[in-house]
Amino acid sequence: MITLAMGIMIYLGMPLVTASREHLVVDLAGSVLSPTGKRIQQTMVNAIAALTFILFSYLLLFHGIGLAEDLMVTEDFEIEQAPIAYLMATMCIFTILVFVKQVFDDLTSKGPDYSKSNGPEI
């Protein structure tokens, strides 16, 4: 049950964390790229992430359909699993919308200021 709750919480938080751009980022090229290069990099990363989440939502949606057809429930509390898969797919769709908005913001220069440093100076 704890594993299920953790998965639900992660998927519920994805659109919010993505919208505030506070997800974990490992930036290996950020120190050598210009602000324009950082903007291009972020646009490409967000576009790839949106495509990845399209795949996730597709797979979760059809997995949920399979769970509904088989009437799958959890072992402990006999909670139906299909609505959980649908909720996760919906949160992926919301995250896709956030990524697409960020791509358009970066393309129209309405995104964050990439000339500032993202981390502490060493």
User: Is 46 within 8 Å of 102 (Cβ atoms)?
Assistant: yes
26: which 2 tokens? 């490992």
Least Cα distance to 85 among 63, 58, 53 occurs for 63
How far out from the chain centre does Cα 112 lie? 18
- How confident is residue 58, by pLDDT bands cut at 50, 70 and 90? very high
User: Is 60 within 8 Å of 85 (Cβ atoms)?
Assistant: yes
User: pLDDT tens-digit profile of 67-118?
Assistant: 999 999 988 888 899 999 999 999 999 999 999 999 999 999 888 888 776 5
67: which 2 tokens? 């769970």
Query: Does the pLDDT at position 4 exceed 80?
Result: yes
Region 50-72: mean pLDDT is 96
Helices (H), 20-121: 35-70, 82-107
Indicate the average pLDDT of the chain: 89
- Find which of 26-35, 38-47, 54-63 is predicted with most confidence, using mean pLDDT: 54-63
Higher pLDDT pick, 83 / 119: 83
Return the pLDDT at 117.
Answer: 62
Nearest-angstrom CA–CA distance, 2 and 7 = 9
